[in-house]
Structure 1
Amino acid sequence: MSNRKTARGLLRWLGAGSMVAALGLWSAVPVMAAGGKELLLLTETNPPANFEDALTGELVGLAADKVRLIMQETGIAHEYRILPWLEAEAVLGRTANACIFLINLTEERKPLYQWVGPLMEGGWALFASLGFQQRITKPEDLAGLRIAVQGGGALEKHLRDMTRDVAGVTLVPMEGAAEIGALFNGQADLFAGGAWAAPYQARQAEVPVRMVMRLTRSTGAMACNKRLPPATVARMQKALDNIIGDGRASAIERRYSTPGSWGSWGLDRRDP
């Protein structure tokens, strides 16, 4: 995705009242990342963190919107490339002027890349319909409950390990992560999913849910090739720190609604 196309999408998103300021920003001479090359920003379709806007065709999302602000603030010339995740990781490994987002920052991964973060706080959680009254604070509180979860994945394994000694817990494996409707067709009492992804899926299915228990926490960030000049990474981190510090990051999170909330996702995203 070119800078020019991204700029047009930004202007549509900002609205007419901010066009003069935005044009001034984008008319600035871009700074090359390294060796006269644009910074290659790799990502995948992963709503609500990163996905293509159905109306504009632009890359948007909870993480993508923050990355766009980072690029605005630093003025670094860049291009986006949306690829399957394994292919994106392979491109990152052989490309000095490349970064990838959104990727979980773990102790194992930390020495492999240079990092810009946090872009978002994620993890896994349990969700229920709004009428669910039982309080869930520990694994023992899940006794006797049915939990819908995507079958065969790491989250199912995590739940089986967590509830191994809890009586009467039934895991209901689903074919896909988007089967949150199991809460409303009598198949399950709770739904296990991503802290941000599950509410997004619920909004898409128009079924309101609330978070009842956080299972894990993770930090999503941008990972850059170790050969990218550290000064470039430092500039991006400083820009992100500014975006977090002045409230713009929080505004983006409200735009997509916070984990576990039920809001007007997709409508409030374009509010000024």
Structure 2
Amino acid sequence: MPAIPGPGVPTPLTVIRRAAHALLLLAMVPAAFADEKLYIYTENYPPYNASTTGQGFAHNAEDISGICADMVKEMMARVNYEYVMKMRDWSLAYDRVQGRANHALFCTARTDEREDEFQWVGPLAPIKWTLFAAPDSDIELSSLEEAKQYQIAGYKGDVMSDYLVSEGFDVIMGVSGEQNPRRLTLGQADLWVTDGLVGPLVAEEEHGITGLRPVLVFRETPMYLAVSTETDPGIVQDLQRGLDEARGSGALDSIVSRYQP
């Protein structure tokens, strides 16, 4: 006959019940407290994302700033996930994120063509699809169709460049857009497609070129944090909640105001 436990000593059945209860509680822990690490990529695209070291790449969040970068950091401060933020060439980062759980990319234009490729957190900030000409150019445009007669500088993986290629425009595709202002001034391209804020900033900071002429704004799209489809939707919901809280607090408006001239 087994011994009877004394007062205060749990029976084997009580121990089993307590263990089962503990396992149940552990299973109910929200995703926000799970041991998840997120890998977030961006490109050098000032003033939205920029390397603080002056280089076109970065290995951690401390070396990345900009409108969208600061918005993403503000969002991450409101959720319980560890994360790594890196800056790479856009085409490399875009390919890196797809097909990998817990990977994301910003600032990504949300278009119909990309809708099913990612889960979306946002919006962050809008971009204006703009065609720039050299300071001494006499090109005038009243419609996008009129630009088909010109050679346009773009870059691989950029949504604006890819759109123009799909519509039959003559686009020079580089690895990044940093050399495109020089292409305009050297006569290697007639126009440059980029965001309305990015164009003049890159031209002046990278090449000392001022006076670029915005000859046509032909579209505006919101930019988002694009999260891989392999990522748990619960994580995406947590990130959206964090961004919404940041917006509601006024933190996102404060970020935008810091970068306005």
Residues 45 and 54 (structure 1 numbering): CA distance in 2 closer, same or farther, change over 3 Å?
Answer: same
Partners of 2:184 and 2:192 within 8 A in 1: no
Kindly state the Cα deviation for residue 115 of structure 1 after the two structures are TM-superposed: 0.8
1:34-92 CA distance string (max 9 Å, x none):
75122221233333332320279611122211111111122422122334445434543
Q: Residue 79 of structure 1 aligns to a residue in which SS?
A: strand
Q: Residue 41 of structure 1 aligns to a residue in which SS?
A: strand
Kindly state the Cα deviation for residue 118 of structure 1 after the two structures are TM-superposed: 1.5
Counterpart amino acid of residue 229 in structure 2: K
Q: Percent identity?
A: 23
Please name the residue that 1:54 is paired with.
Answer: 53
Does residue 64 of the first structure (1) align with residue 64 of the second (2)?
Answer: no
Q: State the alpha-carbon separation in 2 of the partners of residues 227 and 103 from structure 1.
A: 17
Partners of 1:32 and 1:76 within 8 A in 2: no
Q: State the alpha-carbon separation in 1 of the partners of residues 92 and 192 from structure 2.
A: 28
Please name the residue that 1:230 is paired with.
Answer: 233
Counterpart amino acid of residue 70 in structure 2: D
Counterpart amino acid of residue 192 in structure 2: A
| Structure-2-length-normalised TM-score | 0.61
Q: State the alpha-carbon separation in 2 of the partners of residues 220 and 126 from structure 1.
A: 19
1:3-39 CA distance string (max 9 Å, x none):
xxxxxxxxxxxxxxxxxxxxxxxxxxxx975751222
Q: Residue 124 of structure 2 aligns to a residue in which SS?
A: strand
Q: Residue 111 of structure 1 aligns to a residue in which SS?
A: helix
Size of the aligned set, in residue pairs, is 218
Does residue 201 of the first structure (1) align with residue 207 of the second (2)?
Answer: no
What does 1:110-121 correspond to in 2, within 5 Å?
110-121=115-126
Q: Residue 198 of structure 1 aligns to a residue in which SS?
A: helix
Partners of 1:49 and 1:63 within 8 A in 2: yes
Partners of 1:52 and 1:60 within 8 A in 2: yes
Q: State the alpha-carbon separation in 1 of the partners of residues 39 and 165 from structure 2.
A: 37
Please name the residue that 1:42 is paired with.
Answer: 41
Please name the residue that 2:4 is paired with.
Answer: none
Q: State the alpha-carbon separation in 2 of the partners of residues 152 and 225 from structure 1.
A: 23
1:169-226 CA distance string (max 9 Å, x none):
xx897978444367778x59x7432113212223314414464421222332112233
Residues 172 and 223 (structure 1 numbering): CA distance in 2 closer, same or farther, change over 3 Å?
Answer: closer
- Structure ID, larger Rg: 2
Instruction: For structure 1, list consecutive stretches of 5 or more residues without a partner in the other structure.
Output: 1-30, 164-170, 258-262, 264-272
Q: State the alpha-carbon separation in 2 of the partners of residues 140 and 150 from structure 1.
A: 16
Q: Residue 203 of structure 2 aligns to a residue in which SS?
A: helix
Does residue 81 of the first structure (1) align with residue 82 of the second (2)?
Answer: no
Q: State the alpha-carbon separation in 1 of the partners of residues 113 and 171 from structure 2.
A: 31
Kindly state the Cα deviation for residue 141 of structure 1 after the two structures are TM-superposed: 8.1
Residues 162 and 249 (structure 1 numbering): CA distance in 2 closer, same or farther, change over 3 Å?
Answer: farther
Counterpart amino acid of residue 50 in structure 1: N
Please name the residue that 2:164 is paired with.
Answer: 158
Does residue 253 of the first structure (1) align with residue 256 of the second (2)?
Answer: yes
Kindly state the Cα deviation for residue 116 of structure 1 after the two structures are TM-superposed: 0.3
Residues 254 and 211 (structure 1 numbering): CA distance in 2 closer, same or farther, change over 3 Å?
Answer: farther
Partners of 1:32 and 1:38 within 8 A in 2: no
Partners of 1:149 and 1:173 within 8 A in 2: yes
Q: Residue 119 of structure 1 aligns to a residue in which SS?
A: coil
Q: State the alpha-carbon separation in 2 of the partners of residues 238 and 201 from structure 1.
A: 33
Does residue 99 of the first structure (1) align with residue 100 of the second (2)?
Answer: no
Partners of 2:99 and 2:229 within 8 A in 1: no
Instruction: For structure 2, list consecutive stretches of 5 or more residues without a partner in the other structure.
Output: 1-29, 55-60
Residues 150 and 236 (structure 1 numbering): CA distance in 2 closer, same or farther, change over 3 Å?
Answer: same
Kindly state the Cα deviation for residue 245 of structure 1 after the two structures are TM-superposed: 4.4
Instruction: Identify the range of structure 1 (121-130 vs 191-200) with the bigger mean alpha-carbon deviation.
Output: 121-130
Residues 256 and 211 (structure 1 numbering): CA distance in 2 closer, same or farther, change over 3 Å?
Answer: farther
Kindly state the Cα deviation for residue 160 of structure 1 after the two structures are TM-superposed: 11
